[in-house]
Amino acid sequence: MPDHRNYSPAPDLLRDRIVLITGASDGIGRALALRAARLGAQIILHGRNVQKLEKVYDEIEALDRGVRPSIAVVDLASADSDAYRDLAEMLLKEFGRLDGLVHNASILGDRFSIEQYDASTWQRVMHVNVTAAFALTQVCLPLLHQSDDPSIIFTSSGVGRTGRAFWGAYAVSKFATEGLSQVLADEHRHGKLRVNCVNPGATRTNMRLAAYPGENRDKLKRPEEILAPYIYLLGPDSKNVTGESLDCQ
């Protein structure tokens, strides 16, 4: 396997690939949407805030790659099974398949000890970060099976591999994300679908700012600088790479 952190894609690597990115309105998801669109992908921008998604839509249109993105508005905190089914039906009608599914959206929750952690915040974090990814994966699997080279990417974190004090539900949700990715990868070990995790590492986004308000942001990498492993996993060069958890930094 090449060093995916230095992966350098061909200019049209993702041409004709249909890729759904959750949490594409901001941070890493937005940067990935723009990069993948630049490489030719047809992007479905998922998020909960239409105005923010429309801004990203306009930025992709301005790239002038000739492929219009789509917008899918689903609030992962409140979506019910009908919302997921409607999204999958829209994808089936519009595209007939999915080549990439990037589970990027997450929330941080509170930075408290387990003893002090608020139970409703715990449930919300676990729901948005884990249960919603499960529900979305389930409705998207039939669409991914229509692809010749399908790839699912889950987003992990350093605190999803080694537990750390005061990271509460967020850390536990990222351990669960690694588990979901491994189980799904193993279930498809003999098929075309590859399933992997990516750990972005410290990146200059609103989530990082909320977690470390006093930090010098200038020392952090920008989202645009950490995308190589995502692109590697979305494109054909990662065929047969599955059940892995890759670091971006």
Cα-based torsion angle of the residue sequence 59, 61, 64, 69 in order, rounded to the nearest 10 degrees: 120
Of residues 59-88, those binding ligand NDP (CB under 6 A): 75-77
**29 near 155, Cβ under 8 Å?**
no
**130 near 177, Cβ under 8 Å?**
yes
> 137-176 mask for ligand NDP (x: CB under 6 A)?
------------------x-x-------------------
Nearer to ligand NDP, 147 or 171 (CB): 171
Contact between 40 and ligand NDP by CB under 6 A: the answer reads no
Query: What is the smallest separation between the CB atom of 57 and ligand NDP, expressed in angstroms?
Result: 13
Nearer to ligand NDP, 128 or 147 (CB): 128
Contact between 9 and ligand NDP by CB under 6 A: the answer reads no
Element (H, E) at 217: none
Contact between 26 and ligand NDP by CB under 6 A: the answer reads yes
- Pinpoint the alpha helices (H) of the chain: 27-38, 50-63, 81-94, 119-126, 132-144, 168-187, 206-211, 228-234
How big is the CA angle at 121 (ends 120 and 124), to the nearest 5 degrees?
90
The DSSP output letter for 78 is: T
**Among this protein's residues, is 57 annotated catalytic?**
no
Per the residue annotation, which of 7, 57, 84, 170 is the catalytic one? 170
Distance CA 45, CA 52 (A): 10
Of residues 43-62, those binding ligand NDP (CB under 6 A): 47-49, 52
Nearer to ligand NDP, 149 or 178 (CB): 178
What is the identity of the amino acid at 69? P
Contact between 200 and ligand NDP by CB under 6 A: the answer reads yes
Query: 107 in helix, strand or coil?
Result: coil
Number of residues that bind ligand NDP (CB under 6 A): 28
Nearer to ligand NDP, 100 or 200 (CB): 200
Residues that bind ligand NDP (CB under 6 A): 23, 25-29, 47-49, 52, 75-77, 104-107, 128, 155, 157, 200-203, 205-208
